[in-house]
Each structure stands twice: as C-alpha cells, then as structure tokens.
C-alpha cells in the first residue's frame, strides 16, 4: 500500500516526529509532492470533522497541525518555482484573533513559487501591523489575508478597509480561508479572492500583472 496512506494516518494521529520520514519514503516511492500535500489537507478535514463531532479536542487538533507543518517543511523544496522576486513583495498574514496558519503557509509557499518575495507576518496580525509592513518593505505589490474563523471575518474586513483607506498605493489585496467567499471578499472591498492555495497563486499573478 502507498506510503501516502501512512502519511495521512500519522498526520491525523498527530505524530509530528514520524511524518517527515514517511514523506521522504512516499517521495522515494514515486508519489508526487502535490498528491502527498493533498493527502495531508484531507487529514486535516478529518481532524476538523472529529473535533466538530466531539471525538477529539483542541490538543489533538494542535498535534495534527504540528504534524502537518513538519510535513510541509519537507515538501516545500518540491514547490519551489523558477522565477524569483520579479512580481514584487507579498505581505501575508492571518488576521487578528485567528491562530490558524497551515493554510496561510501553504498559500505563502505557492505565491512564493509564483515569483513573489514573501514577508510572512504570522498569525493574529492586526490591521495596523499589515499597514506597517506595507510601509516598511520595498515594492509591496500584494497583501494576502487569511482567516479560518467566522468570528474573525470582521477583523478581515477591518484589515482590508484600513489598507484601502490608508492612501497607500501600488498593491492589491487578496483574501481567503475556509469561511471566506467571493461575495464576502467583494463586499469588504478586497481586490481578489481564492478558495485554495493553488488558485491563490494564480489569482495573485493576475492581480499584480493587471
């Protein structure tokens, strides 16, 4: 049986120490990096469903997240793109009040591989921190805001509206994350929306190239 199934099972079980080695084995077996990544994304959906059903709790969710993050580190070189820095700098972060970073880090990895320089502000990023980063970094062409909680959608709105009313120019704003829709993105004044990491990179390029 493919090692991908072992990767999936060990991410679900939160075995952070085992996942990197299993990924190396899955790659050596000839599995493609995007397929391994998708298996880990699927694992996190299972983890979310188990959390919703009351079968697991926050500590187990956290361990699964750590296991997936370790796995992503191993896969990252396999997503490295050819073009470097030609599309300017992308400031990326998870909005205020929200600590989820796996999806944001995948989006960051894909946007970087599409040719952006990345300034990753991490999680729980306030509107003013996004603004400061736009001011402090050279050639910011894109700001990317991630959010996973319905309760932090107002923080995403505040961030976009703060950036848009700041008088700063030369960059586009893209938003995304599980509770975010194209309609919500448009309603808060974002320039773009994407449902997943791959399409976020494609949309980022479109937005910046005009």
- Which residues here bind ligand B1M, judged by CB under 6 A? 41, 44-45, 47-48, 51-52, 58, 61-62, 64-65, 97-104, 106-107, 144-146, 148-151, 174-179, 194, 196-197, 200
- First-to-final CA distance of the chain: 46
CA 186 to chain centre: 20
Nearer to ligand B1M, 26 or 143 (CB): 143
**Minimum Å distance from CB 108 to ligand B1M?**
9
Largest CA distance in the chain: 57
Nearer to ligand B1M, 1 or 61 (CB): 61
**Minimum Å distance from CB 186 to ligand B1M?**
14
Nearer to ligand B1M, 70 or 104 (CB): 104
CB neighbours (10 Å) of residue 37?
A: 22
**Minimum Å distance from CB 191 to ligand B1M?**
11
Exposure pattern of 124-162 as b/e (b: 16+ CB <10 Å)?
bbbbebbbebbeeeeebbbbbbbbbbeebbebbbbbbee
Report H helices in 137-181: 153-164
Nearer to ligand B1M, 18 or 177 (CB): 177
**Minimum Å distance from CB 114 to ligand B1M?**
13
Nearer to ligand B1M, 26 or 65 (CB): 65
Nearer to ligand B1M, 28 or 137 (CB): 137
| Ramachandran sector of residue 88 (left: φ over 0; alpha: ψ -120 to 50; beta: rest) | left
What is the chain's percent helix, strand, coil content, to nearest 5? Answer: 55, 10, 30
**Minimum Å distance from CB 4 to ligand B1M?**
16
Rounded Cα distance, 8 and 44, in Å: 9
**Minimum Å distance from CB 103 to ligand B1M?**
2
């Amino acid at each position: 049986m493919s090692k991908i199934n072992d990767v999936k099972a060990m991410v679900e079980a939160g075995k952070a120490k085992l996942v990197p080695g299993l990924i190396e084995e899955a790659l050596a077996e000839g599995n493609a990096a995007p397929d391994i990544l998708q298996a880990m994304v699927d694992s996190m959906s299972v983890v979310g469903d188990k959390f919703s059903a009351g079968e697991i709790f926050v500590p187990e969710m956290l361990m699964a997240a750590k296991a997936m993050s370790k796995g992503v580190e191993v896969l990252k070189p396999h997503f490295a793109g050819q073009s470097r820095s030609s599309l300017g700098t992308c400031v990326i972060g998870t909005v205020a009040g929200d600590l989820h970073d796996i999806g944001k880090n995948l989006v960051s990895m894909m946007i970087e591989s599409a040719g952006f320089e990345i300034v990753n502000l991490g999680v729980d990023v306030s509107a003013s921190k996004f603004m400061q980063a736009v001011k402090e970094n050279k050639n910011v062409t894109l700001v990317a805001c991630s959010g996973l909680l319905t309760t932090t959608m107002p923080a995403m709105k505040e961030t976009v509206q703060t950036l848009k009313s700041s008088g700063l120019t030369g960059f586009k704003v893209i938003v995304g994350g599980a509770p975010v829709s194209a309609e919500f993105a448009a309603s808060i004044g974002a320039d773009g929306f994407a449902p997943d990491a791959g399409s976020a990179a494609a949309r980022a390029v479109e937005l910046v190239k005009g």
